Amino acid sequence: MGGPSASVAIPRRKSTEPGEAEGEGAPERVGTRVSHAVVSARTSAGWKREQLARAVHERVDVIAGLETGEALKPTEALMVRLEKALRVSLPRR
């Protein structure tokens, strides 16, 4: 009981989904084209992040993550809400 603690390796999840290749399955991040387009449209509209978040019914940290590229790829529903609020077409990749 008083000995050194052993480190245990945790195996990585193997692909179990049909058509899922090894290394895939990691969440996709928002692309830089989308991030830049959202920032550009928001600033052109003269809005702060808080105003855009309110307009699309999202949290400010979601908008911030989208704009900095740290967020996961947004859902199509969020993309549509952003486009309507900002009155622009956003790239999908």
Q: Which domains does the chain have, with CATH numbers?
A: 32-86 (1.10.260.40)
For residue range 22-47, list pLDDT tens digits in order: 456 778 999 999 999 999 999 999 99
DSSP, res 15: P
Q: pLDDT band at 18, cuts 50/70/90?
A: very low
Q: What are the two backbone dihedrals, phi and then psi, of residue 72, each rounded to the nearest 5 degrees?
A: -70, 160
Could you give the percent of the chain with pLDDT greater than 70? 74
Q: pLDDT band at 2, cuts 50/70/90?
A: low
For residue 72, the SS3 value is: strand
Does the pLDDT of residue 9 top 70, yes or no? Answer: no
For residue range 73-82, list pLDDT tens digits in order: 999 999 999 9
